[in-house]
Amino acid sequence: MIYFTEFKSPIGMIELRGTATALTGVFMQEHRHEPTRPAGAMRDAGPLRSAQRELEEYFAGARREFSIALDPVGTPFQMRVWQALRAIPYGETISYLDLAQRVGNPRAFRAVGQANGHNPISIIVPCHRVIAADGSLGGYGGGLERKRILLALEKVTTEAG
């Protein structure tokens, strides 16, 4: 069973999706690559309460690491990219090229960018911490303004930031 709930955050409404044991999605309003909510998904905040609490703590500046169980769905390549994203420390950024190198294929920076953009667990799997090699923000599935807000929350400065 997939559950979902929504809550208000400093970057707008956020929808959480998950099972009784793991978080499967964190989506913002107008999220570029948000998959359709599964048929039969049940609105129930109960199974997602821990995820919401951890995100609220993050937005309040009281949490730098997340401890909830995650279960993203993707290709093996996407899973490698999303795992590499989780290794980017709070308050730091890397380039798409750096991320490609971390997944063992430095020439695949465009594919890495695509996988980054399709990350279903935004914020917790910190795709917002990947920027262009020249220091500009690059893209973000939730919109560049939200990326700026998240990086500012983590006190990251960028050239175009």
The catalytic site residues sit at 127
Q: How many residues does the chain have?
A: 161
The closest alpha carbon to 114, from 138, 150, 147, 146, belongs to: 138
What would the DSSP string read from start to end of the chain?
Answer: --EEEEEEETTEEEEEEE-SS-EEEEEETT-TTPPPPPTT-EE-SGGGHHHHHHHHHHHTT--SS--S-B-----HHHHHHHHHHHTSPTT--EEHHHHHHHTT-TT-HHHHHHHHHT-SBTTTS-GGGEE-TTSS----TT-HHHHHHHHHHTT---S--
Give the number of other Cβ atoms within 10 Å of residue 118's Cβ.
19
